[in-house]
C-alpha cells in the first residue's frame, strides 16, 4: 500500500515515470485554492487542487482507498473508465456515496490506456476543485514517439462556490453574463442592417428566451492551467528538437477552450484516451471533460506560449514551454467575442415561433417536422431524415453558423471532429440494432435543462440490452453547446468515416446540429448519461441507463418505482 503523494505521482510533470502500485490512498479534503487576486476555499484530493496525477498501467488491478475528510458526502468518478458499474462512483446511481469520516475502497481492473481524469460526482465538489489527471500506460508500444510529456489540465475556477453559482443562475440566468446586449448595440445593429431587421432580430431572441451572447453560462471565472493562473505561468521544460507530448484535459465546470501554441504545429495523436490517425493542426477546441494528446517539436531555443482561450473570448489560461525556467513568450490578446445568430440554429426565426430553446412536451419530435413550406436558410441543407440543419458551415460536428464557427488564428488549420479517425477500429463495423433520439432541450430564462423536454427527476430510465449496438441521435434544440458523456461504455462518434469512426467518451453537440453516436452495449449495470456542463446536468440534462442481461451481475432496479 502507498499514499498518493507528490513524490510518487507528480513526476508526470517532468516526463518521468512513477512507480506502478496496485493500491493507493486518497483523501478528500477542504483546501485553499490560489486564484492570484484572491484565495478561495474549495475541495481537493490529498490536500491540494488539482489532485496529483495518478499513473496506472494497462492490465493491472488497482485498489484505491478514498477517505472522506469533509463534513458532507463525497465520491470519486473515474472519468472515461471501463469498469464494473459499482465502482463508477455516482452517488444515488451506482453506490451510496462516501459518508463523512468513512473510507470507500474502489477495486477494478485497468482495461485501457491513455489520458483520463478523476473527479467528484457529488453536488458541486468538482467545480469547487475536486479533480485530477490520470495517465494509463499501454501494454504495447504506442504508434508514435515522444521524448517527454506533460499533463496540461485546464479548469475555470470562480470565486463563488458551485452551489452559489447554481442558486444565482436559477434566480437570474444572465447573472454571470458580462456581455449582454444593450440599447447601444441595438442602435449599432439598426445602423448596420436597418431598424426593422434589428428589431425583428431582438424579437426573435426574446421569443427564444435567450440572447446572442448566451455562449457561456458563467463568466468572471479565473482559468487555471495545472492549478496556475496566467500570471503564475506554469512552465514545462524541453531540449531543442525534442518531441514533447502534451496531455490536455478540460476539467472545467462550464468552459470550452480553444488551444494554440503560437509558433508550433500540434499533431493530435489521441482523443479521449484513444489513438487517432495523426492530424497536424494550429488550433483545436476542447470541450468540457474531453482530453486530447498532441505532440509538438520545438526547434528553437526559445519560449512558446500555451494559450487556452475560452470559446466566448472572455478569459484565457496561459502556460509556457521553454528550454529554461523563468523564460516567457508573448501572450496573445483575446480575440473579439462571437455572437450567436439565427444561422446557428439553421432554421432561422422559424424555430423561435416553435418555442425553440424551450422545454417541449415529450410528443414534440423535431425529426418529424414538416419542412415543405419552410424557406431554406442560406447554406443550410436537408438531412436524410428531413431535418434542416447546417447554415453557413462545412462541419456539423463543431459549432456552425456565423457565431461560433471555429477559425484558427492567422488562417491556420483548426481541428474538426471530421478530422478524427481511429488508429485501429475497436469494434467490428456493423449496423446498429436500434436508434434512440435524444433532443437536447432547455429554457435559459428558467435555467431548466432537459432531454426530450423532460428533466431527470421526471424521467424514466433508458434500458439497453447487453450485446446490442445502440445508435443515439442527438438533436440540439438549444443555443448552447452540450458535451454529452456516457459512463461505462465507449461512444463511437459517427463522423462519416465508417469503420474509422473515432472512439470517445464525450461527444460535443453544437447548437442547431444533429450528431449521431453508437455504443456497443457490453457493460451490464446502471450508468449515467448526461451533459458534462455541471450546472446543466444538475438542472436536469441527465439520464439513467440500465443495461439488462449479459454476464452474471448484482440485481438491477425493477422497472417500477425508479
Classify residue 80: in a domain, yes or no.
yes
Would you say residue 8 lies in a domain? yes
Confidence of residue 5 (pLDDT cuts 50, 70, 90): very low
* pLDDT number for residue 196: 62
Residue 332: CB partners within 8 Å, gap ≥ 6?
260, 262, 305, 307, 309, 316, 409
Backbone angles phi, psi at 411, to 5 degrees: 70, 20
Please indicate whether residue 338 or residue 426 has the higher confidence score (pLDDT).
426
253 CB neighbour count, 10 Å cutoff: 23
Residue 97 belongs to a domain: yes
pTM of the model: 0.84
- Give the pLDDT of residue 110: 97
Do the beta carbons of residue 341 and residue 319 sit within 8 Å? no
Q: Fill in the DSSP letter of residue 247.
A: E
Grid cell listed for 72: 458532507
Residue 117's Cβ-count burial label (10 Å; 0-12, 13-18, 19+) is buried
Q: Is the pLDDT of residue 489 over 90?
A: yes
Region of poorest pLDDT, from 213-222, 359-368, 436-445? 359-368
Residue 129 belongs to domain with CATH number: 2.60.40.420
In this predicted model, what pLDDT tens digit does every residue of 217-248 receive, in sequence order? 888 899 999 999 999 999 999 999 999 999 99
Domain that holds residue 137: 2-141
Instruction: Quote the pLDDT of residue 531.
Output: 98
Q: Is the pLDDT of residue 3 over 70?
A: no
The total number of structural domains that make up the chain = 1
Q: How far is CA 35 from CA 24, 222, 266, 420, in A?
A: 29, 7, 29, 35
**If you average pLDDT over residues 244-265, what whole number do you get?**
97
The verdict on residue 242 lying in a domain is no
Answer with the residue of higher pLDDT: 179 or 414. 414
CA dist 259 and 415 (Å) reads: 10
Q: How is 155-221 classified by DSSP, letter by letter? A: EEE-SS-HHHHHHHHHH-TTTT-TT---HHHHHHHHHHH-HHHHHHHHHHHHHTT--TTTT-S--S-
Higher pLDDT, 480 or 293: 293
Tens of pLDDT, residues 66-125? 999 999 999 999 999 999 999 999 999 999 999 999 999 999 999 999 999 999 999 999
| Model confidence at 519: pLDDT above 70 | yes
Q: Which residue has the higher pLDDT, 404 or 215?
A: 215
In a domain, 110, yes or no: yes
Model confidence at 438, pLDDT cuts 50, 70, 90, reads very high
- pLDDT on residue 185: 43
Q: What is the pLDDT of residue 557?
A: 54
Q: How sure is the predictor about 512, in pLDDT bands with cuts at 50, 70 and 90?
A: confident
Most confident of 1-10, 56-65, 177-186: 56-65
The whole-number pLDDT of residue 339 equals 67
pLDDT band at 188, cuts 50/70/90? low
pLDDT in tens, 333-351: 999 887 666 555 553 333 3
Give CA–CA dist 45/60, Å, rounded.
23
Residue 408 lies in a domain: no
Q: What is the pLDDT of residue 194?
A: 67
- Angle among Cα 119, 251, 169 to the nearest 5 degrees reads 95
Q: Say whether 102 sits in a helix, a strand or coil.
A: coil
CA 286 vs CA 189, 291, 307, 405, 542: distances in Å: 32, 7, 12, 14, 21
d(CA 470, CA 85): 19
Tell me if 282 is assigned to some domain.
no
pLDDT at 162: 95
Please report the pLDDT score of residue 176 as a whole number: 63
Angle between helices 195-207 and 183-193 (to 10 degrees): 130
pLDDT in tens, 108-159: 999 999 999 999 999 999 999 999 999 999 999 999 999 999 999 999 999 9
**Rounded mean pLDDT, 255-271:** 97
DSSP notation for 457-484: GGPPPEEEETT-EEEEEEEE-SSS-EEE
Which pLDDT belongs to residue 445?
A: 81
Q: What is the mean pLDDT of residues 345-371?
A: 36
pLDDT score for 404: 55
Give a yes or no: residue 90 inside a domain: yes
pLDDT in tens, 278-317: 999 999 999 999 999 999 999 999 999 999 999 989 999 9
- pLDDT of 187 strictly over 60: no
Residue with cell 477542504: 30
Look over the chain and give the mean of its residue pLDDT values, rounded to a whole number. 83
The better pLDDT of the pair 381, 405 is held by 405
Better-predicted residue by pLDDT, 405 or 146: 146
Highest mean pLDDT, choosing among 46-50, 311-315, 355-359, 385-389 = 46-50
Q: Which of 51-60, 365-374, 523-532 has the lowest mean pLDDT?
A: 365-374
Amino acid at each position: 500500500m502507498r499514499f498518493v503523494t507528490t513524490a510518487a505521482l507528480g513526476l508526470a510533470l517532468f516526463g518521468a515515470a512513477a512507480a506502478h502500485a496496485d493500491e493507493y490512498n486518497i483523501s478528500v479534503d477542504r483546501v485553499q485554492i490560489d486564484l492570484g487576486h484572491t484565495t478561495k476555499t474549495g475541495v481537493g484530493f490529498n490536500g491540494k487542487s488539482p489532485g496529483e496525477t495518478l499513473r496506472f498501467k494497462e492490465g493491472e488491478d488497482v485498489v484505491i482507498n478514498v477517505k472522506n475528510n469533509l463534513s458532507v458526502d463525497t465520491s470519486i468518478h473515474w472519468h472515461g473508465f471501463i469498469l464494473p458499474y459499482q465502482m463508477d462512483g455516482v452517488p444515488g446511481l451506482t453506490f451510496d456515496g462516501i459518508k463523512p469520516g468513512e473510507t470507500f475502497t474502489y477495486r477494478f481492473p485497468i482495461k485501457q490506456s491513455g489520458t483520463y481524469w478523476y473527479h467528484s460526482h457529488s453536488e458541486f465538489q468538482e467545480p469547487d476543485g475536486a479533480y485530477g489527471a490520470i495517465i494509463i500506460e499501454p501494454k504495447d508500444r504506442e504508434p508514435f514517439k515522444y521524448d517527454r510529456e506533460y499533463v496540461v489540465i485546464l479548469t475555470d475556477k470562480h470565486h463563488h462556490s458551485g452551489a452559489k453559482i447554481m442558486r444565482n443562475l436559477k434566480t437570474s440566468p444572465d447573472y454571470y453574463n458580462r456581455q449582454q446586449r444593450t440599447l447601444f448595440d441595438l442602435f449599432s445593429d439598426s445602423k448596420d442592417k436597418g431598424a426593422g431587421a434589428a428589431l425583428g432580430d431582438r424579437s426573435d431572441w426574446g421569443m427564444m428566451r435567450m440572447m446572442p451572447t448566451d455562449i457561456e453560462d458563467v463568466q468572471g471565472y479565473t482559468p487555471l492551467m495545472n492549478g496556475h493562473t496566467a500570471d503564475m505561468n506554469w512552465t514545462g521544460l524541453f531540449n531543442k528538437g525534442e518531441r514533447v507530448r502534451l496531455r490536455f484535459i478540460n476539467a472545467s465546470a462550464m468552459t470550452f477552450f480553444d488551444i494554440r501554441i503560437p509558433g508550433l504545429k500540434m499533431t493530435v495523436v489521441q482523443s479521449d484516451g484513444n489513438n487517432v490517425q495523426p492530424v497536424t493542426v494550429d488550433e483545436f477546441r476542447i470541450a468540457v471533460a474531453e482530453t486530447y494528446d498532441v505532440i509538438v517539436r520545438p526547434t528553437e531555443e526559445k519560449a512558446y506560449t500555451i494559450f487556452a482561450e475560452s470559446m466566448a473570448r472572455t478569459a484565457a489560461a496561459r502556460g509556457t514551454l521553454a528550454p529554461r525556467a523563468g523564460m516567457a513568450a508573448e501572450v496573445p490578446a483575446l480575440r473579439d467575442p462571437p455572437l450567436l445568430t439565427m444561422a446557428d440554429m439553421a432554421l432561422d426565426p422559424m424555430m423561435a415561433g416553435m418555442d425553440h430553446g424551450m422545454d417541449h412536451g415529450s410528443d414534440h419530435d423535431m425529426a418529424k417536422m414538416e419542412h415543405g413550406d419552410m424557406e431554406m436558410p442560406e447554406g443550410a441543407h436537408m438531412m436524410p431524415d428531413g431535418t434542416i440543419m447546417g447554415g453557413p458551415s462545412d462541419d456539423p460536428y463543431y459549432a456552425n453558423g456565423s457565431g461560433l464557427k471555429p477559425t484558427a488564428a492567422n488562417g491556420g488549420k483548426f481541428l474538426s471532429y471530421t478530422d478524427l479517425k481511429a488508429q485501429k477500429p475497436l469494434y467490428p463495423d456493423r449496423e446498429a440494432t436500434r436508434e434512440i433520439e435524444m433532443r437536447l432541450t432547455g429554457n435559459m430564462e428558467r435555467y431548466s435543462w432537459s432531454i426530450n423536454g423532460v428533466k431527470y427527476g421526471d424521467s424514466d430510465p433508458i434500458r439497453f440490452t447487453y450485446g446490442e449496438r445502440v445508435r443515439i441521435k442527438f438533436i440540439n434544440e438549444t443555443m448552447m453547446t452540450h458535451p454529452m458523456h456516457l459512463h461505462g461504455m465507449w461512444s463511437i462518434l459517427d463522423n462519416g468515416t465508417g469503420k474509422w469512426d473515432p472512439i470517445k467518451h464525450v461527444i460535443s453537440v453544437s447548437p442547431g446540429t444533429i450528431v449521431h453516436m453508437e455504443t456497443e452495449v457490453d457493460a451490464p449495470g446502471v450508468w449515467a448519461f448526461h451533459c458534462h456542463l455541471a450546472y446543466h446536468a444538475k438542472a436536469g440534462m441527465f439520464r439513467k441507463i440500465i443495461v439488462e442481461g449479459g454476464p452474471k451481475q448484482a440485481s438491477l432496479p425493477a422497472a417500477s418505482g425508479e
